Amino acid sequence: MAEISSKYRTDSIDRLGADRAIAIWLLICCATVFAMVVLGGVTRLTGSGLSMVEWEPIMGVLPPLSDAEWRETFAQYQQYPEYLLKNRGMDVEGFKSIFWLEYFHRLLGRGIGVLFALPFLFFLLSRRIDKPLVPKLITMFVLGGLQGLMGWYMVMSGMVDDPHVSQYRLTAHLILAIWIYAYMFWVAMDLWRGRNLVRMKGRGQLSIAYVLIAFVIVTIVSGGFVAGLKAGFTYNTFPLMNGQWIPEGLTLLEPQWRNLFENITTVQFNHRLLAMTLAVAVVAFWWSSASKSSSGALRVGLHLMLLAALLQVSLGISTLLLVVPISLAAAHQGGAVLLLTAVLNVAQQLRSPRPLNGD
């Protein structure tokens, strides 16, 4: 009996060690996805996203290397609406300045695929992955591939007549990245904590945390439409919009549902309303939860959630008032992911504890 008990403890320690190694790998992948989201925002803000007019997942790893190759690549770009309607007269050097940002954005996307695939194969072949975990990791990889396809589908929308990508496709591209990030982070933290999670008294707080996660995601969706419509360049005052709490023109489009996604005034108003309501909800949740927690780690998580919410509101207001400077706008996009991370972390800690063997 003592030998069996000792073997079980050893197996448990080995399992925990393997889980934590996998968790570290997934958290590194999360960091690269975070960088990808921020860099994607920069490419959009600098008008670089349509500079690469061909999608070559394998051969496209190499950029133009000679003057002749640069001239050929630039000539291809000159055939598309962004050059013809927006950047006519741009020379090769100006083209390079936007090309490199999009190139590094796509290169990072490929790098994430390699960063995920190679360690996955190693952990799989060395039998360090629990069988229930394999489908989750495969799902992450498939979602990553779909994200690449969605990115190109988005870019194609700006290469037909109007040199602006569809706000619908841009938002879908953003939300798929957020979904991948959140799923990866959740699984990583579950593994890191060894599935022995703390729980506050009652399940109400956990339910509220889940609602907050959904609220953050909805607010990010609304931010995607703000970005896609460039709505941040209008109504650059706060808290009023054109001197009004509720601006005119919220229902100009027909049918009415189009105002939610295509009316610049409505899209910015909704984003403001969602963001401020979310901030109040986070503060209220922090106020009601921090004093009830018996876990120091959970209290730290709650404080970080509050800090992330206050930082995000500050970044959002500053970005609006200063008329969308690139650095602040990119930080605001990254801040949304940080806030989501903080809320996910709190919710993940509030879950009911489970035995190490998953029974």
Predicted local distance difference test score (pLDDT) of residue 11: 52
Q: Which residues contact 238 (CB under 8 A, 6 or more apart)?
A: 272, 317, 320, 321
Handedness of CA 46, 51, 55, 59 (dihedral sign): negative
Predicted local distance difference test score (pLDDT) of residue 359: 37
Predicted local distance difference test score (pLDDT) of residue 10: 45
d(CA 155, CA 50): 6
d(CA 298, CA 72): 56
DSSP state of 353: P
What pLDDT tens digit does each residue of the chain (359 aa) get?
444 444 444 455 577 788 999 999 999 999 999 999 999 999 999 988 888 888 776 656 788 989 999 999 999 999 998 999 888 989 999 999 999 999 999 999 999 999 999 999 999 999 999 889 999 999 999 999 999 999 999 998 888 888 889 999 999 999 999 999 999 999 999 998 875 555 544 478 889 999 999 999 999 999 999 999 999 999 999 999 989 999 999 999 999 999 999 999 999 999 999 999 999 999 999 998 887 766 788 899 999 999 999 999 999 999 999 999 999 999 999 999 999 999 999 998 888 554 444 43
Cβ pair 234, 264 in contact under 8 A:
yes
**Which residue type is seen at 215?**
F
b/e 145-170 (16+ beta carbons within 10 angstroms → b): eebbebbebbbebbeeeebbbbbebb
Predicted local distance difference test score (pLDDT) of residue 18: 87
Give the CA-trace dihedral at 133, 136, 142, 145, to 10 degrees: -90
What is the residue-wise DSSP string for 103-141? HHHHHHHHHHHHHHHHHHHHHHHTT-S-GGGHHHHHHHH
Helices (H) and strands (E) in the chain, counts: 11, 0
Query: Among all chains, which residue has been given the structure tokens 């933290």?
Result: 189
Strand-pair partners of 244: 241
DSSP state of 352: P
Predicted local distance difference test score (pLDDT) of residue 12: 53
Which of 281, 282, 247 minimizes the C-alpha distance to 267?
A: 247
Q: For the chain, what is the radius of gyration of the CA atoms?
A: 23
Predicted local distance difference test score (pLDDT) of residue 5: 45
Whether the bond between 247 and the residue before it is cis, its omega within 30 degrees of 0, is: no
Predicted local distance difference test score (pLDDT) of residue 159: 86
Predicted local distance difference test score (pLDDT) of residue 244: 95
d(CA 242, CA 320): 13
Predicted local distance difference test score (pLDDT) of residue 216: 98
Predicted local distance difference test score (pLDDT) of residue 353: 55
Q: Which residues contact 277 (CB under 8 A, 6 or more apart)?
A: 215
